[in-house]
Chains A and B, each alone.
Chain A
Amino acid sequence: MLRHVLYSVRHRTSYRYGRPVDLGVHLLHLSPRTLPSQRVLRADLVPTPAPDRVEQGTDTFGNAVTWMFLEAPHAAFEVRLEAVVEVRPRAAPPPAATLGWRDVAAIARERPEWHATAEFLFDSPMVAVAPEITAYAALSFGDGRSVIAGLLDLNSRIRRDFAFRPGSTTLSSTPRTVFAQRSGVCQDFAHLMIAGLRGIGLPARYVSGYVRTYPAPGQPRRRGADQSHAWVGAWMGPEHGWIDLDPTNDLIVADEHVTLGWGRDYGDVSPVRGVILGGGAHSVEAAVDLEPLAADASSIPAVGH
């Protein structure tokens, strides 16, 4: 019934510098993560020009990290991810099977063996708990409600109550700003939902990756028209663990998302970040292409980022 979907992922990030850069150091969270629900068949990072030094590592959350050092003058830098990933559909547990949300919060708070989960309970640099967002989230979590029911309700409400409006926020917009203006993009909605869940004491993390998009009827697929995407991982307790929810599209993450990695917020897993020496003004361009290679499901309605 639930079939694996094979995706080709292409993500190109290009920088052009006003003047040659003498030294460029780049930190990449750009390798799809191997998961029970995701098999990485191939993942190549292709930088141009070739860096003088490339290092690999793993961060505290288990994400693969790549460092690239360019130590000779260069006027541009580009890095491409070329990957083939098999996604296995996940399903949400039935509400009756999950714990009440208060029990989940209590376990995360009080049981030391779950401390690594509790790491996602606290404020992080880009997500601070705020009373108005906590109050908003709390409306989905009535007394005795199962955690999954509350999570799905909040996921839907964010999709309903907030407008997807590119350009209405910046990288540094806080969840409070997004909450006040009721609009934003995927990253803002993820941060907002995380703030709400942490506010009521539920562990929540930021997931970075890609989502499948569908062309308008009668239009061909446009290459490179996709973008990086972000959604929310929420904890349902020891038995059911984490569930991924996409508040931008009111979706339970199943077989249309490819996961790169996760952290407390965007800052922990930004796909490409760098420091350059010299360079003057610079411009950046990103192009993402997520293309299903196997089963096609064209009947699913279009989703945004």
Chain B
Amino acid sequence: MAVTEGRDELIDDDGRLRGPWRRMLGSLLGMGTAALGERLTELDRAFAADSAVSVLARADHGQWHCDPIPYLFAESEFTPIAAGLAQRARVLEAALRDLYGPRKLLADGIVPAEGVYADPSYLRICRTPDAADQSPHLQLYAADLMRAPDGRWHVLSDWVGEPTGLAHVLENRLMMARVLPELFRSVEASPVRPFFDLWSDALQRLAPDGAGNPGLALLTPGHADPRWFEHVVLARELGCTLVEDGDLTVRDGALWLKTLRGLQPVHVLLRRTRGRSLDPLELHGETERGVPGLLCAMRNGTVRVVNSPGAALAEAPGIFAALPAIAEHLFGEPLLLPSAPSPHPPPSYIPCVGTGDTLEPRPVILRLFLLFDGSAWRPLRGGLARIVEAADNDDGGLPVQGLAKDVWVIVEDEGDIVGPPNLAMPALPIRRLAGDLPSRVADNFYWLGRYLERLDTAARLTRAMVARLARTPLLPRDLPEMRTLAGCLSDAGVIHAEVATSGETILADALWRAVSRGDGPYARAEKHLAALTDTLRDRLTGEMHAACVDGLAGLAANRKRLRTARPAGAIGLIGEMARQALQFSALVAGYTAENMVRGGGRLFLDLGRRIERAQAVAAQLARALDQPPERLVTGLQLALELCDSVLTYRGRYLTVLQPAPVLDLVVADDGNPRGLGYQLVTARAVLGILSGGENIGIAHALDPAIAETRTIVSDLLADDGDAAAADLPRRLRAIETQLVALSDAVVRQYFALVPVRWTDVPS
């Protein structure tokens, strides 16, 4: 890119090296350009491994890279810019207050009517002509700036809707400190962390009076949003619960978070969704998203939302153009930092580590941030510098990928004020961390458990069938067993019901399709798992998330390989695929057992697995035991095999097969991890923990099924044992039906409902 017309960031007006660069340049030159190239690679590696930005960003989005050379500000350069930005923020706040109130700026002709009324970001429903509520519209303000060839700073855009980029600021600083510690020794950079502490405090102080331990939540559009990783990072930094629309509800004039422990109040909502998506009742015609009644709760003063729903009006072109006049009219002040003319002059340029170990001058713009702490605007003493790419959109928003630089404000000497003097602040209550699991997250964990188990069940049945298909010659009992297994496979959705009664060739062919096709049952289960893993990626440990992602990618790659393997449809290859699916399932189960805290999400993951496996085992045993009396022994044998219990049975009873001991092992014994009893008892224990002694009903919903597993065995031991044996399939299916009902009850009890909007029909 030609940069000759832009100003060189390293040089001052007199053509000398700018102050902060003198010491830094020494360090950089001392390292040499080759070493800088290595650090660039190291930075990339550090981001890929450890940063939330990389780990949480979706694979289909690009990545940000951080250049090893920071952007440097001398304290004396930064202070006037911060003052200019604070002024702009103050003017914008006053403009919003007026435009959503008395509208003097319009009546006095300072802002043209079209600039407000015709702009979609003006949310007229939020206008309160004589509002008593003086809560601020703006808490966070960001601006994009550039330095013109004459050395003056210009503001390219003001951002007050949902300003982004702070996660990058945090992570850039973190990774720079790790990879380039020597740079921090050459100059002293102001820390960025105090800004986030200040922000967290400001959020707590924003809570309406009387909220002793205020509930703070950060509202995100969800994990599909390109800025989701930033929402995760900010929620953690600020001690907010990360929530989506469906997690919230308005009751009794206040805002609540739906959690497993019931409704918890939300007093302050940090909004990262568009203002006009906040309330589908009043901000109609935009989307179905939002929390119905939220604006009412705001008007009641029970919840504060920042930045205010209508804040984005301050980003409208009509306001940007009128800003100097607004500042003059409302405060009698000229703007300290002018808006950039359009088209704007070429931005300044700054060296970046290029390919081939060279330094390349590239055009740079800055994003700086300020926070309103309740009394004044405080700057973030750092920021995000980014290199302007030819392909960048003109809308000025932060692109999803690019080259960034950490912004350093250099502390010049001990006498400098490092930050605003400490405010006398009341002692803060203990911060409420994201302790309450939103119902939506619980729902996702529950289904993660169910799909993991579904894949496991399919693979076990496939493996059992493959073992028989591979046998030549078949044993006498193989044929009826294959018929039963085929039935189980069809129950599990692996093969179609009509195929289940077919011969070996057709069965083998159906299994081949099931494991190898991209739209087959295996691939479908894996897709569900991938989507759930993606959704839960902020809730899983890095290791477990990586294990799931890598494992699923491995399965998909194997399937692709399988489709081209020869001989096509070979029994061995089907078995191989099933074996790998089982390995994956075992790996995830291992991570769950060893790495996940037993609580919250883990409980729902466990519950999902247990209910799914209990249903599968009940259904399989019902089929295996659905035999005429002369073939009952064969059925018992298969029942043991399906429950992985052959060895245990031999250990207990040697080789004699009788109904009561077999059923005791696979149905009643709650110590057998593949038996039905174990699933039921474990699920009941989880439900007991979840209900916390409150919702006793659901915790005891499993009691009849557990009692039934024991009665089944005692009935088999009774005098009319034969009749009891014949009745086994019916009784097992009845348990399966109870489990389906239980799953429905769990879903109703714990998981979020989705709102529906309707309207009347006019004449």
* Number of inter-chain CB pairs below 8 Å: 130
Interface residue from B106, B108, B763 paired with A187 (Cβ < 8 Å): B763
Q: Does B630 contact A (CB under 8 A)?
A: no
Which residues from 1 to 59 on chain A have a C-beta closer than 8 Å to any C-beta of chain B? 13, 15, 22-23, 25, 27, 52-53, 55, 57-59
Q: A96 within 8 Å of B by Cβ?
A: no
**Contact among B124, B755, B762 with A276 in the assembled complex (CB-CB below 8 Å):** B755
Asked whether any CB of chain A lies closer than 8 Å to the CB of B284, the reply is: yes
Say yes or no: A22 contacts B753, CB within 8 Å.
Answer: yes
> Which of A117-125, A139-147, A148-156, A249-257 is found at the contact surface with chain B?
A117-125
From 116 to 137 in chain B, residues with beta carbon under 8 angstroms from any chain A beta carbon are 117-118, 124-125, 127, 129
CB–CB A112/B108 < 8 A: yes
Q: Which of A223-231, A239-247, A289-297 lines the interface with chain B?
A: A223-231
Count how many chain B residues have C-beta atoms less than 8 Å from C-beta atoms of the other chain.
Answer: 39
A60–B125 touching, CB < 8 Å: yes
**Complex Cα gap A115–B763 (Å):** 31
User: Is A270 engaged at the interface, CB distance under 8 Å to the other chain?
Assistant: yes
Q: Which residues of A contact B763 (CB under 8 A)?
A: 166, 185-187, 227-230, 305
Asked whether any CB of chain B lies closer than 8 Å to the CB of A89, the reply is: no
User: Which of A98-106, A130-138, A214-222, A278-286 is found at the contact surface with chain B?
Assistant: A278-286
* Residue in chain B with minimal CB distance to A274: B758
CB distance from B76 to the nearest CB of A (A): 42
Does A179 reach chain B (CB closer than 8 Å)?
no
Residues of A within 8 A of B124 (CB): 59-60
Q: In this assembly, does B251 line the interface, its C-beta being within 8 Å of a C-beta of chain A?
A: yes
Q: Mark A63-86, 1 if CB is under 8 A from B, else 0.
A: 000010101000000000000000
Residues on the A chain within 8 Å of B113, using CB: 112, 115, 118-119, 121
Determine whether A161 belongs to the interface, using a CB cutoff of 8 Å to chain B. Answer: no
Given A71-B251, A112-B113, are A276 and B758 neighbors across the interface (CB < 8 Å)?
A: yes
CB contact between A115 and one of B103, B281, B754 (< 8 Å): that residue? B103
* Contact with A118, one of B117, B129, B299, B300 (Cβ below 8 angstroms): B117
B759 touches A171 (CB 8 A): yes
Contact among A53, A67, A272, A279 for B756, CB-based, below 8 A: A279
A229 neighbours in B (Cβ, 8 Å): 763
Q: Is B165 an interface residue, CB under 8 A from the partner?
A: no
| Pairwise interchain contact B293-A69, C-beta atoms closer than 8 A | yes
Taking the complex as formed, is B715 at the interface, i.e. its CB lies under 8 A from any CB of chain A?
A: no
**A13 touches which one: B114, B251, B760 (CB < 8 A)?**
B760
| Residues in B225-284 with C-beta less than 8 Å from chain A | 249-253, 280-282, 284
In the complex, residue of chain A having the shortest beta-carbon distance to the beta carbon of B285: A125
Residues of chain B in range 704-763 having any CB-CB distance to chain A below 8 Å: 753-763
Contact of A273 among B249, B281, B299 (CB under 8 A): B281
Residues of A within 8 A of B343 (CB): none
Q: Which of A186-214 contact B (CB under 8 A)?
A: 186-187
Task: Report B's interface with A, CB cutoff 8 A.
Answer: 103, 106-109, 113-114, 117-118, 124-125, 127, 129, 249-253, 280-282, 284-285, 292-293, 296, 299-300, 753-763
17 contacts between A and B (CB under 8 A): A22-B753, A23-B755, A53-B252, A55-B299, A69-B251, A69-B296, A112-B108, A115-B113, A118-B114, A122-B117, A185-B763, A187-B762, A187-B763, A228-B762, A272-B759, A276-B756, A277-B756
A interface with B by C-beta (< 8 Å):
13, 15, 22-23, 25, 27, 52-53, 55, 57-60, 67, 69, 71, 112-113, 115-116, 118-119, 121-123, 125-126, 166, 171, 185-187, 227-230, 266-267, 270-279, 282, 284, 286, 305
Further contacts, 6 of them, CB under 8 A, given A112-B108, A275-B281 = A15-B758, A25-B296, A69-B250, A118-B114, A187-B763, A305-B763
